[in-house]
């Protein structure tokens, strides 16, 4: 009887220990985001699959294209802004009239096309979509040096052109603070449906699909491992890239941290963080950006998110109007480059548009949307993503080394505590001195410095 009791005790201990080990394993096992290949081209996929060739691509222009643009600019019907309204009602009409006048008489699209074409452009077909990308390598490397690939992903209403001030700083053989490397090789794609990438022909193309396509792009280019950087939608797409292929993405750097599902820590920090900031690691920078909550979490998002509701529900309706009117398109896009750069710019008659950007660069971004006719397909990306709230990728942590550049005028602020809820291997969190939503275009020097520091640190640790 005593033997039986001993035996049963051992069995019980074994079961308990086994259950405990299984529970710990389940808790610590790293989740990987799962996805399946798609086909986004028109009709059924071809029998042989995608044409995986890499094709050189050149941005072009024509006299007919410019004559059509000028005719539409000349035919615009002016609308007067309210007195003393600045940018509080959206794009100020007096400011818009000056932009249109410059666009019609002084802006040189041909010269800007030459600037865009200074870097090599390519296209390749992935899942039925012709993916456009810029591929830039360092011009000269020290003997024995090797390049580290990085993919830069933009958002809306931006384009690959956002990174044109950043690319030379990253690919310089000796960049500021980069005398010992790493030497970066930049791949800068257009999101499908944006710029010169083809648009999906079928419903359902969301950020995870874009991430899968870009991981395939990097693999097709021969990269087994690479870094990824993004802002706006690019922050979500590159996050998804790391969730899908954690062994391929060596490190993730973002300046827009996609929010996670609200956690107990996040909610508690909002309730008590202002009174007990040190308890949650809140800095004066965090307190200034988070409080008062009525303003930061309610009023300001309501003021700035009207476009989002439209694009997440009925993008094709308003998109058709913007696709026909270059003035309407410019007003819709440029207004974001005002208030998203600095919300105080809404108090200025000119929206502060040229305080951080040149009018040539702003109009070049608009022209990429206009000449490619991509405004409708770019807006659909909102509907595809907001149709799947609570999707699996929102619940999967990111385990790859992560760096966050936190710019003070970003639309939404994410303190370190919140970022770590999703990004479990947070290597750097940098409150930046200045800059807003379009940080890579607005402050390329600051962005390059933080990105190079993150990659250098990650490479040394590896």
Report how far residue 305's alpha carbon sits from residue 315's, in angstroms, rounded to the nearest whole number.
Answer: 14
pLDDT at 18: 47
Residue 394 has pLDDT above 50, yes or no: yes
pLDDT at 444: 98
Which residues is 428 bridged to in the sheet? 403
pLDDT at 25: 41
| pLDDT tens readout for residues 421-433 | 999 999 999 999 9
pLDDT at 14: 45
Greater pLDDT, 13 or 420: 420
pLDDT at 387: 83
pTM of the model: 0.91
pLDDT at 377: 98
Q: 90 near 335, Cβ under 8 Å?
A: yes
Burial class from Cβ neighbours inside 10 Å (0-12, 13-18, 19+) for residue 360 reads middle
Average pLDDT over every residue of 250-275: 87
pLDDT at 181: 66
Alpha carbon separation from 37 to 53, 126, 263, 352 (Å, rounded): 19, 10, 32, 44
Cis (ω within 30 of 0) for the bond into 182?
Answer: yes
pLDDT at 143: 75
Burial class from Cβ neighbours inside 10 Å (0-12, 13-18, 19+) for residue 24 reads exposed
pLDDT at 417: 94
Residue 5 has pLDDT above 80, yes or no: no
Percentage of the chain surpassing pLDDT 90? 79
Residue 20 has pLDDT above 70, yes or no: no
| pLDDT tens readout for residues 167-195 | 999 998 654 455 566 889 999 999 999 99
- Which residues are catalytic, by number? 232, 382, 437
**Pair of tokens at residue 7:** 């035996």
Nearest to 393 by CA among 418, 415, 422, 421: 422
- Residue 389's pLDDT band (cuts 50, 70, 90): confident
Residue 409 has pLDDT above 80, yes or no: yes
Q: 231 near 440, Cβ under 8 Å?
A: yes
Average pLDDT over every residue of 100-115: 98
Residue 56 has pLDDT above 60, yes or no: yes
| pLDDT tens readout for residues 336-369 | 999 999 999 999 999 999 999 999 999 999 999 9
Strand-by-strand arrangement of the 55-57 sheet: 55-57, 121-126, 129-136, 183-189, 147-153, 226-230, 249-254, 402-406, 426-431
| pLDDT tens readout for residues 295-314 | 988 888 888 899 999 999 99
Residue 158 has pLDDT above 80, yes or no: yes
User: What superfamily does domain 55-261+305-461 belong to in CATH?
Assistant: Alpha/Beta hydrolase fold, catalytic domain (3.40.50.1820)
pLDDT at 139: 80
Across the chain, what does the average pLDDT equal?
A: 91
Residue 90 Ramachandran class (φ > 0 left, ψ -120 to 50 alpha, else beta): left
pLDDT at 297: 84
The Cβ of residue 12 has, within 10 Å, a number of other Cβ atoms equal to 10
Which residues is 229 bridged to in the sheet? 152, 253
pLDDT at 13: 47
pLDDT at 29: 60
pLDDT at 22: 40
């Amino acid at each position: 009887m005593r033997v039986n009791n001993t035996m049963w005790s051992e069995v019980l201990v074994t079961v308990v220990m086994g259950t405990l080990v299984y529970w710990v394993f389940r808790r610590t096992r790293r989740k990987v985001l799962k996805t399946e290949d798609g086909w986004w081209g028109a009709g059924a996929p071809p029998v042989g699959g995608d044409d995986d060739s890499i094709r050189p691509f050149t941005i072009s222009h024509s006299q007919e294209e410019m004559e059509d643009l000028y005719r539409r600019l000349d035919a615009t019907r002016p609308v007067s802004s309210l007195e003393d309204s600045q940018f509080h009602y959206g794009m100020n009409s007096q400011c818009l009239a000056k932009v249109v006048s410059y666009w019609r008489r002084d802006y040189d699209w041909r010269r800007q096309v030459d600037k865009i074409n200074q870097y090599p452009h390519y296209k390749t077909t992935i899942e039925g979509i012709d993916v456009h990308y810029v591929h830039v390598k360092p011009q000269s490397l020290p003997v024995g040096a090797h390049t580290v690939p990085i993919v830069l992903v933009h958002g809306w209403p931006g384009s690959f052109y956002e990174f044109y001030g950043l690319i030379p700083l990253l690919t310089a053989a000796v960049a500021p603070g980069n005398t010992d490397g790493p030497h970066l090789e930049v791949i800068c794609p257009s999101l499908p449906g944006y710029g010169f990438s083809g648009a999906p022909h079928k419903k359902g193309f969301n950020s995870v699909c874009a991430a899968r396509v870009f991981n395939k792009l990097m693999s097709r280019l021969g990269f087994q491992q690479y870094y990824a950087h993004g802002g706006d939608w690019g922050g979500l797409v590159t996050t998804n890239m790391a969730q899908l292929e954690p062994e391929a993405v060596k490190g993730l750097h973002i300046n827009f941290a996609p929010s996670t599902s609200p956690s107990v820590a996040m909610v508690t920090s909002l309730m008590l963080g202002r009174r007990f900031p040190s308890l949650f690691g809140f800095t004066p920078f965090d307190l200034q950006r988070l409080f008062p909550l009525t303003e930061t979490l309610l009023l300001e998002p309501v003021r700035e998110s009207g476009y989002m509701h439209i694009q997440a529900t009925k993008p094709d309706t308003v998109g058709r109007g913007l696709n026909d009117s270059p003035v309407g398109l410019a007003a819709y896009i440029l207004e974001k480059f005002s208030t998203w750069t600095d919300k105080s710019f809404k108090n200025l008659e000119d929206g502060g548009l040229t305080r951080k950007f040149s009018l040539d660069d702003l109009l070049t971004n608009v022209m990429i949307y206009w000449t490619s006719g991509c405004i409708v397909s770019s807006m659909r990306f909102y509907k595809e993503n907001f149709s799947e709230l609570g999707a699996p990728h929102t619940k999967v942590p990111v385990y790859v080394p992560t760096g966050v550049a936190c710019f003070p005028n970003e639309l939404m602020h994410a303190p370190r505590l919140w970022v770590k809820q999703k990004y479990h291997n947070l290597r750097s969190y940098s409150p930046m001195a200045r800059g807003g939503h379009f940080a890579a275009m607005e402050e390329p020097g600051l962005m390059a410095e933080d990105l190079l520091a993150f990659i250098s640190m990650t490479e040394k640790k590896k």
